Amino acid sequence: MSLSQVAAELDARDPLAGKRAEFDLEPQLSYLDGNSLGAPPRSVAARLDEVVRKQWAGRLIRSWDEGWWQAPERVGDRIAPLVGAAPGQVVVSDSTSVNVFKALVAAVRLNPGRPEILVDSTTFPSDGYVADSAARLTGHEIRRVPPAEMAAVVSERTAAALVNHVDYRSGLLHDLPALTESLHAAGALAVWDLCHSVGAVPMRLDAAGVDLAVGCTYKFLNGGPGAPAFLYVAEKWQERFDQPLSGWAGHADPFGMTEAYAGGAGISRARTGTPEILSMLALDAALDVWEDVTVEQVRAKALALGDFFLRCLDERVPGAEVLTPRDHRRGNQLSIRRPDAKRVMAAMTESGIIGDFRPPDVLRFGLAALYVRYVDVLRAAAFLSGWPG
């Protein structure tokens, strides 16, 4: 069969094929950038209309007592199964960068007497900026190390390590349970950035003994641009969790207006400021798409999409420099290096095939299995095969 016939057959047999109809996507659009910004579920617009017209306009300030104030913990509990966490350990609030700062400072405060913080040297730049700031605040030294080398260099000097579960450039998937175990063996705490894996890769934070983790919600969770991030704090650390941004929303009695700060019970003390209600409840609506599907199903399809993409590239674009592992040690994306990557992606986007470009020369294609089709990855490979460069 031709690749077109194979793609058509795979799409026809896809058990998740019906999920695309739950997203507001043009039928002819090949959207391969869900690893940067997820597509909008159709349920979001209706939910926001209700929030604005009925809750905000209709109930006004009374809505804070009718579910708004509790939203960070409630929505966090909806994310918890997607990261393998029991209820009461995930809270939705603030941005990813803010939560990385809170988690890293809290981690070194939980593990005093150790002067060093290990940072994934391949990390998304913002994590590195935040880690530098946290180190200046706490008097720690930063040591940048590739995740593959962390198990060999972690020592009694290491307070905590900040690691990405999936490399944002290459799509390489790191071994979260094994690396967490290695860090713990040296007495260090594990802080994981899950931005490129939540909603894409099955994980079991509780079972792996992860200490703290952060993740964004606007990629594979489809929460929308600027949707609030989440913070996971293992139950064993919550009573001692001492974050540097002790705002009123994390207070034990936030409306008591007392002068002294007292952290709230459980995961609530990880909150800082007033919840972002409109974006929070947009995310809440977006999570409805997970009610009848598992991360394991999404992962199985995304791996199959990646395998088919690689087959298409091998046949149509022989010699393409694929940065992403060809085996399944990858997240739900495929990255290709080309010297003309910026011009290529601009042309692809113009033709209705949307991926993204990362300087200086990387094309990234997100395989968000809830709405990406086999025909979409074939279209991408076909475009690359015909590009004059």
Tokens, residue 138 = 């706490």
Q: Does residue 38 form part of some domain?
A: no
Token duo for residue 284: 């809440």
Pick from 36, 33, 114, 79: which is nearest to 213 by CA?
A: 79
Dihedral, 349, 352, 355, 360 alpha carbons, nearest 10: -20
Structural domain boundaries enclosing 24: 3-31+293-386
User: What is the distance between the alpha carbons of residues 306 and 330, in angstroms, rounded to a whole number?
Assistant: 9
Q: Is 14 part of any known ligand binding site? A: no
Is position 49 annotated in a ligand binding site?
no
- Residue 144 domain flag: yes
How far apart are the C-alpha atoms of 175 and 164, rounded to whole Å?
10
229: phi then psi, degrees, rounded to nearest 5? -85, 180
Q: Is residue 69 part of an annotated ligand binding site?
A: no
- End-to-end alpha carbon distance in the chain: 28
C-beta of residue 343 within 8 angstroms of C-beta of residue 389: yes
Same domain, 195 and 227: yes
Angle subtended at Cα 232 by Cα 37 and Cα 199, rounded to the nearest 5 degrees: 35
In a domain, 37, yes or no: no
Q: Which residues are identified as catalytic?
A: 124, 193, 218-219, 364
Number of domains in the chain: 2
> Is residue 154 located within the same domain as residue 226?
yes
Domain co-membership, 74 together with 215: yes
| CATH number of the domain bearing residue 104 | 3.40.640.10
Instruction: Give pLDDT tens digits along the chain (389 positions).
Output: 899 999 999 999 999 999 999 999 999 999 999 999 999 999 999 999 999 999 999 999 999 999 999 999 999 999 999 999 999 999 999 999 999 999 999 999 999 999 999 999 999 999 999 999 999 999 999 999 999 999 999 999 999 999 999 999 999 999 999 999 999 999 999 999 999 999 999 999 999 999 999 999 999 999 999 999 999 999 999 999 999 999 999 999 999 999 999 999 999 999 999 999 999 999 999 999 999 999 999 999 999 999 999 999 999 999 999 999 999 999 999 999 999 999 999 999 999 999 999 999 999 999 999 999 999 999 999 999 987 75
* Pair (260, 298) in one structural domain: no
- Residue 341: which CATH number? 3.90.1150.10
Is 196 flagged in the annotation as binding?
yes
Query: Is the pTM value of this prediction over 0.95?
Result: yes
The answer to whether 165 is annotated as binding is no
Same domain membership, residue 369 and residue 285? no
Same domain assignment for residues 286 and 326: no
- Specify the length of the chain in residues: 389
